[in-house]
Amino acid sequence: MNVAVKENKKKREQKSTDEFIKGLWKENPVFVQVLGMCPVLAVTNTSMNALAMGLATSFVLLMSNILISLLRNFIPKQVRISSYILIIATFVTVIDYVIQAISVELHKSLGAFISLIVVNCLILSRAEAFASKNTLKHSVMDALGMGIGFTFALLCLGVVREVLGSGTVFQFQILPENFQSWIIMILPAGGFFTLAFWLLFFNYLKERKAKS
Amino acid sequence: MNTASLWSIFINACLINNFVLAYFLGICPFLGVSGKVATASKMGAAVTFVMVISSLCAFGINSILTAINAPYLQLISYIVVIASTVQLVEMFVKKMSPALFNALGIFLPLITTNCAILGLVLFQTAKGYNILEGFVYALGAGAGFTIALLLMAGLREQLELADTPKIVKGTAITLLIAGILSLGFMGFSGLG
């Protein structure tokens, strides 16, 4: 019996690492599920903005997943979506004030997009599809995985756009001074093109893997 | 109130700073419901309606919140207003046209999490528009959203017939088109 318990425990642990891993790659919120596109395109004109946005979103995702998972047996089914949105909005208000306290400049450059984390489909979809049905531990792992996956995707875009658009990464000059920067990369159109090319790249990799 | 400034607010929200192509707001329905022109136009109308109502309500809420000095409640009360308006529209559409209700599917309740609407309300507050300017701004933003959606839907209907390579099918090609549209809309920037 002891063995069975142990095995069961092992299985459960296995599962919680799975929840963590899946957000990073297999179910990456941006590249695979195509969720939360607005911030992905809008604030990735520099790597710093992308990182800050990724961390802020991960924070809100983690906190709301925790709270929703704890309250999952108390929230009536009919009003669940509105309750989730209220919980998310509360944490977004918190992170909005936190960012303002840390760096006014960063707050300015992210602008309305911090408040707009409320309507990031990624967070609501995790709440509805995962946290409302799973235990606290799994929800935390899920939120961490998805949050890191989201931040990673934002950085993918942010770094490419900053390098090509201004020749820098996190404001360090990496391309030679005389590099003619591609202004289009920091304009809105550049966001669409960069994401399109990342998706093309991943599709290509998938295709090649499927063939071999 | 001078009409010229109202007109410029409208043009600004609709073309120069198009919500979808310049501010990246409302990308989800833009990618999701832009398959057919007929559905796209109705989606555009629904979003415009919710925008106008939310913009008017937000103006009222904002003056109350300023009066009682509680700006930290702003975000929470805005989202509640938007969610209730969407609920209203959903009931209305379900009653008036079940076919449209089915065509819009999940994207109807998802108007709540359409960033274009919350974005509109936040920008309106940040710019300090009065009630009439807010109304025009909401109309312009709604029109801009509908235009972008219609353009995309028209292009995608044609694309169905085109012979695209397998790896660009789906989201990738849609994003490439959106990028080109966005470049096109940059041409309007001289109008302001």
Chain A nearest C-alpha distance from B118 (Å) = 7
Of A167 and A48, which is predicted with more confidence?
A48
pLDDT at A119 > cutoff 90: no
Name the pLDDT band for A12 (thresholds 50, 70, 90): low
Region A8-15: mean pLDDT is 67
The pLDDT score that the predictor gives to residue B152 is 92
Using an 8 Å CB-CB cutoff, list chain B residues near A115. Answer: 75, 118, 122
Question: Looking at the domain assignment, is residue B192 inside a domain?
Answer: no
Q: Is A112 on the interface with B (CB under 8 A)?
A: yes
Contact B75 A41 (CB under 8 A): no
Mean pLDDT value of segment A58-85: 90
- Residue A42 is nearest to which of B24, B112, B175, comparing CB atoms? B24
Overall domain count for chain B:
1
**B106-110: long-range contacts, CB 8 A cutoff, minimum separation 24:** B107/B29, B107/B32, B107/B33, B107/B43, B108/B46, B109/A81, B110/A121, B110/B28, B110/B29
**Which comes out higher in pLDDT, residue A77 or B147?**
B147
Domain of B35, in residue numbers:
3-187
Each domain of chain A, given as residue ranges in start order, spans 30-211
Residue B34 C-alpha, separation from nearest chain A C-alpha, in angstroms: 15
More confident position, A73 or B100: A73
A203 CB neighbours in chain B (<8 A) are 167-168, 172
Q: What is the mean pLDDT of residues A116-145?
A: 89
Residues in chain B with pLDDT values less than 50: none
Give CA–CA dist B36/B16, Å, rounded.
25
pLDDT tens digit sequence for B148-189: 999 999 999 888 888 888 777 778 888 899 999 999 888 888
Are B109 and B86 in contact, with CB atoms under 8 Å apart? yes
Tell me which residues of chain B have a C-beta less than 8 Å from any C-beta of chain A: 21-28, 31, 72, 75-76, 79-80, 83, 109-110, 112-115, 117-119, 122-123, 126, 166-168, 171-173, 175-176, 178-180, 182-183, 186
A:B CB pairs within 8 Å: 111
Instruction: Give the pLDDT confidence score for residue A8 in this predicted structure.
Output: 66
| Residue A22 burial (CB count, 10 A) | 17
In degrees, rounded to 5, the angle at the alpha carbon of residue A205 between the alpha carbons of residues A36 and A55 is 30
In this predicted structure, the answer to whether residue A11 has a pLDDT above a threshold of 70 is no
Q: How far apart are the first and last CA of chain A?
A: 44
> Is the dihedral angle over the CA atoms B126, A116, B81, A65 positive or is it negative?
negative
Residue A3 in this model has a pLDDT that exceeds 70: no
In this prediction, residue A81 carries a pLDDT of: 81
Contact check, Cβ <8 Å, B175/A193: yes
Q: For residue A40, what pLDDT is reported?
A: 84
Q: CB distance B115–A116 less than 8 Å?
A: yes
Least confident of A40-49, A107-116, A169-178, A192-201: A169-178
